[in-house]
Structure 1
Amino acid sequence: MKKALLPVLMLSSLINTAHAADWFKNNDALTQVHKHLLNNDLPQMFDSLVEVWQINASEYREEHLNTLFAQALNKDCGKTLTKKTLPDWISSVVIKRMMIQSPGRDTFRVEINVESSNNIKNITFEKWVDKVVSSDSEFSKDDQGGNGSSDHRYYKRYNLSTQLNPGLYRLSVKTDARDSWSTWVILGKVVTRQQVRWASKDTWLIDKKELLNPYCPLPKLDVGLFDYVDEKYDKVWGKSYESDYPKSLANEDLPNDRYVLAVSMVQSRWQGDISVEQVQTISKTYDISSEEELK
């Protein structure tokens, strides 16, 4: 029986090899993605992947593209995905995909943070082809420079009805002086490697869902208290942790009041010089009174 099985296995192997050889004789963009990935040529792989995304892909192909993109991130977390650099008037770009879970409601956002020495007029983020991700958006400027520099921080926030889909996007930045810069951005499927959840009224736990990418920064835990003033949430206290994550608030000298407690798990990767963050936030009201002190 084993002797009869061996020729069948050999024939199957030959057929598969022949199909693979025929497949690699193709010279379409998807074949180029595979070839560049196998050769560790990530910039060329990224350019070919952009070209494939520009084709109306089927659901099967989209799943395949997401798998290829995830494999590319396993090389160096996206640091060498593209050789394109930021212009000299932009010092930092951060793209945040955000999910905020509050009691009885989940909200979704995408936020673009740009630090620049020039006056930014607008930031746009569109899904291919020419589709603004949401008509509910807000553009703002923070007069405080980042990292001690004289640059200003600019924010473009899009409020979404659902999680932002994977795919090809176009990021554009324009200044008052008519300088402009744009780039392609590829977003893969949301991968929750670590997730934060409430364990009790004022404590939380971090569930480890998948192994971390060793080439990416460690997930960061942000904890903050917000006060609702003039129809706006102002942060009154906050800390970030890159290890030894706490499970509750430490003793802090804060006025007695009702706050919103927000705990965020931030997982980061790169696309060349651009930082892409996946942010999961849980929030709830939190009362501080003379009878109830922070643990």
Structure 2
Amino acid sequence: MIKNLVLLSGALLSAPVVSQSQVWFESNTPLTQTHKHLLNNDLESMFSSLVEMWQLEPSQSLQTHLNEILIQSFDVDCGKGLSSQEFPDWLKGVSVQRSEIQSPGRDAFRANVEVQSSAQITDISLKGWVNRTVSNDTVLDLVRENSSGVSTYSKRYNINNKLSMGLYRIEITSSNGDKWSSWLIFADPKLSMSVRWASKDYWQVEQHTLLNPTCPLPKLNAALYDYVDGTYNQIWSGSYESDYPTSLPLDDIEPGRYVLAVSMAHRRWQGKIMVEQTQIISKTYDVSVEE
């Protein structure tokens, strides 16, 4: 019996080793290819496979799995390697922001696409797969112009619910008819940091997970708005990527009633596109003479 066990042990040791990944990749489905590309750090091919998977309109459980794969890929370079697609000469920058705004008794959601361009922009389109309109908003704003000839345009989408994870298509059109478009996959990560009200005059920054060292630090913005003749006018703002404050510098603010908004933004890339997920808390805020 002992002799048989020794012979069996020797046979096992001399047999070729078949790894779990070799067995897994014997099939050639888009999902197995997605895993294979991620393991090989071929992020651009992985992203292409993810696009193909989302186009197949996967089940809810598979959507969750695809979301986890995309989030895991951010550990490599925060999404910069997902696409090598370059901007045309007239397009200088594209950023896409998803926001959740929490105010007393009401939550609101919006998406915003901001474009920097040396050409006049006539349209910005963001649609979900397949050709699904995000909202009915059609206003395209010229945010600012500068002396270098590059202008910033913005299109804001007010939406009823949180913009879901999944596949979207972004398209930008210039006045001379040139177009640039790209696939965009929104992830649904657990945010590493958030803000909440701690008291009437203070907010608190909470950390939930470890920060991704390949991504920028979460950015905290605080802004104070005065409401005059139906318009909100920003009278103070501050932006911080470390040493986050938890209150306003009241010495710099005149007494009055304002709206205070505090946000925490997490940023990553999809190739050249900056993708930002932002949580905003807001409420009315009184500054008295005594303060």
Shared topology, TM-score over 0.5?
A: yes
**Matching of residues 243-254 of structure 1 within 5 Å:** 243-254=242-253
Offset of residue 191 of structure 1: 1.9
Q: Deviations 1:105-124 (Å, cap 9, x if unpaired)?
A: 11011111111111110101
**Match of 1:172?**
171
**Match of 2:3?**
none
Offset of residue 23 of structure 1: 3.5
**Match of 1:151?**
150
**Match of 1:71?**
72
Aligned CA distance change for structure 1 residues 18 and 42 (closer, same or farther; 3 Å): closer
What are the ranges of 5 or more consecutive residues in structure 2 without an aligned counterpart?
1-7, 9-17
Q: Does 1:118 pair with 2:119? A: yes
Separation of aligned partners in 1, 2:89 and 2:136: 30
Separation of aligned partners in 2, 1:209 and 1:137: 37
Equivalent pairs counted in the alignment come to 276
Q: Deviations 1:75-107 (Å, cap 9, x if unpaired)?
A: 111011111122211111111110111111110
Whether the 8 Å CA contact 1:190–1:278 is kept in 2: the answer is no
What are the ranges of 5 or more consecutive residues in structure 1 without an aligned counterpart?
1-6, 8-16
Aligned CA distance change for structure 1 residues 18 and 244 (closer, same or farther; 3 Å): closer
Separation of aligned partners in 2, 1:252 and 1:174: 46
| SS at 1:178 equivalent | coil
Separation of aligned partners in 2, 1:239 and 1:50: 38
Aligned CA distance change for structure 1 residues 216 and 175 (closer, same or farther; 3 Å): same
Q: Does 1:238 pair with 2:237? A: yes
Tell me which amino acid in the other structure corresponds to 2:235.
Answer: V
Tell me which amino acid in the other structure corresponds to 2:173.
Answer: K
Structure exhibiting the larger radius of gyration computed from Cα positions = 2
Separation of aligned partners in 2, 1:142 and 1:135: 20
**Matching of residues 264-279 of structure 1 within 5 Å:** 264-279=263-278
Q: Does 1:44 pair with 2:45? A: yes
Separation of aligned partners in 2, 1:251 and 1:183: 45
Offset of residue 256 of structure 1: 2.9
Offset of residue 22 of structure 1: 4.4
Separation of aligned partners in 2, 1:66 and 1:194: 19
Offset of residue 24 of structure 1: 1.1
**Match of 1:219?**
218
In angstroms, what is the RMSD of aligned CA positions? 1.9
**Match of 2:198?**
199
Aligned CA distance change for structure 1 residues 270 and 282 (closer, same or farther; 3 Å): same
**Match of 2:209?**
210
Whether the 8 Å CA contact 1:136–1:160 is kept in 2: the answer is no
**Match of 1:280?**
279
**Match of 1:131?**
132
Identity among equivalent pairs (%): 49
Separation of aligned partners in 2, 1:51 and 1:156: 27
Offset of residue 57 of structure 1: 0.7
Whether the 8 Å CA contact 2:75–2:212 is kept in 1: the answer is yes
Tell me which amino acid in the other structure corresponds to 1:178.
Answer: G
Whether the 8 Å CA contact 2:71–2:189 is kept in 1: the answer is no
**Matching of residues 54-65 of structure 1 within 5 Å:** 54-65=55-66
Q: Deviations 1:4-25 (Å, cap 9, x if unpaired)?
A: xxx9xxxxxxxxx798644411
- TM-score, reference length from structure 2: 0.90
Offset of residue 251 of structure 1: 3.5
Whether the 8 Å CA contact 2:204–2:246 is kept in 1: the answer is yes
